[in-house]
Structure 1
């Protein structure tokens, strides 16, 4: 004899779909944060200088120096991952907007470097050159800037996903509701639904004090038992 397959909760498939959708912004935020952090450890600009006294000096400016906000922005994206699990509704929309602002703030210095090149005065100041030193040459490394651009675009996509998730979270299934609310909903459904109930819904209905097997026990007049077919009262 083969064992009978247990009833499946009809809310399980939508719940799995929501769980997959919730994982998308988390993955995107993790990728964006990793891109920003990795770029902050890479060399963005190499500066050649000469002060007239000693030999030529070479200074390498990493992302954390040239674009100082890169590391804090990466940490902000990590914090947004935790916030995406902790908040719902309008608060999640706020998180999405903050992530979008972080993405723009990360993209601007990278795009400026790739498009406008290196400002010698800024390079000398960040390299902490003495006043008598002059910048003789600069070299730009495109890879870390491109990595930031990729991370910024990824963060923008994550922001859109968070805002969409905020709208979808308003219709969260009873699986994620508070136990009392879930029991109340199951009790109401057991009393009114004409469709067969799942095993989970049956147990929730029992917890709510409803008998899911006696949904039709009350008549339309609110009295126990079916409505009598014939009248018993006296006619005038």
Structure 2
């Protein structure tokens, strides 16, 4: 049976959710790839080569991806100003993600010194070569861009935008709305087809009998 009382999903909610999920996937994938390869020698042992993945080079990358996944659930469960707050937080995540990615792609900072520190080379070791792989940084930067676009959509979203699915509605609110619909149906203030099965069950849960007729006479309210 159709449920006309329930707000339909809106594309305005789906798009930021998809962008957040995409951003989280890109950032998680980038964290598993090799960002920097560093070769060193200390004059006492054999030369060594260390490969630093995204989780080492940018330790916050995986936690930030998990934050975006949590933001997906939060967006689905909220509406109005809480979504705008989520948008602001997502924008901060995007900014934090973009900084190290952009720095690596543009060659900013001392690559060899940072690589030696993260590879935990002994003090006597000398870095003989250090190379950066641009592709993982590009993936992380794309994830940051996707997250930033999602943040803009969330902060600009109208207050009355419906939640993606009615299953996240508060049961207390749902029952109160069902009771009001039943009362209006009795008083003929809401003409139309029969109430949905969901509304009938919610009204019963609230202690209202949908089959009970109004006590008012047909000509109007009782004096």
Shorter-chain TM-score tier: 0.7 to 0.9
1:1-236 counterparts in 2 under 5 A? 10-11=4-5, 15-18=7-10, 20-117=11-108, 119-165=111-157, 167-169=159-161, 176=169, 177-188=173-184, 191=187, 193=189, 195-200=191-196, 207=209, 211=213, 217-219=218-220, 222-223=221-222
Q: Report the CA distance between 1:216 and its aligned residue.
A: 9.4
Instruction: Tell me the TM-score normalised to structure 1 length.
Output: 0.73
Please provide the CA RMSD for this pair.
3.5
**Unpaired runs of 5+ in structure 1?**
1-5, 225-236
CA distance in 1, matches of 2:98, 2:186: 54
How many residues matched? 212
Whether contact under 8 Å (1:47, 1:138) holds in the other structure is: yes
**Unpaired runs of 5+ in structure 2?**
none
CA distance in 2, matches of 1:194, 1:88: 27
Between structure 1 and structure 2, the one with the greater Rg is: 1
CA distance in 2, matches of 1:64, 1:166: 37
Q: Report the CA distance between 1:132 and its aligned residue.
A: 1.4
Instruction: Tell me the TM-score normalised to structure 2 length.
Output: 0.76
Q: Report the CA distance between 1:106 and its aligned residue.
A: 0.7
Q: Report the CA distance between 1:171 and its aligned residue.
A: 9.4
**Cα offsets for 1:48-85 (capped at 9, x unmatched):** 22222334321111111111110111111122122223
CA distance in 1, matches of 2:166, 2:28: 39
Whether contact under 8 Å (2:13, 2:161) holds in the other structure is: no
**Cα offsets for 1:96-129 (capped at 9, x unmatched):** 2111111111111001110125522111111111
CA distance in 2, matches of 1:93, 1:159: 8
CA distance in 2, matches of 1:171, 1:58: 51
Counterparts in 2 of 1:181 and 1:173: CA distance versus 1, 3 Å: farther
Higher relative contact order (CA 8 A, sep 6+): 2
Higher helix share: 1
Q: Report the CA distance between 1:45 and its aligned residue.
A: 0.7
CA distance in 2, matches of 1:174, 1:190: 25
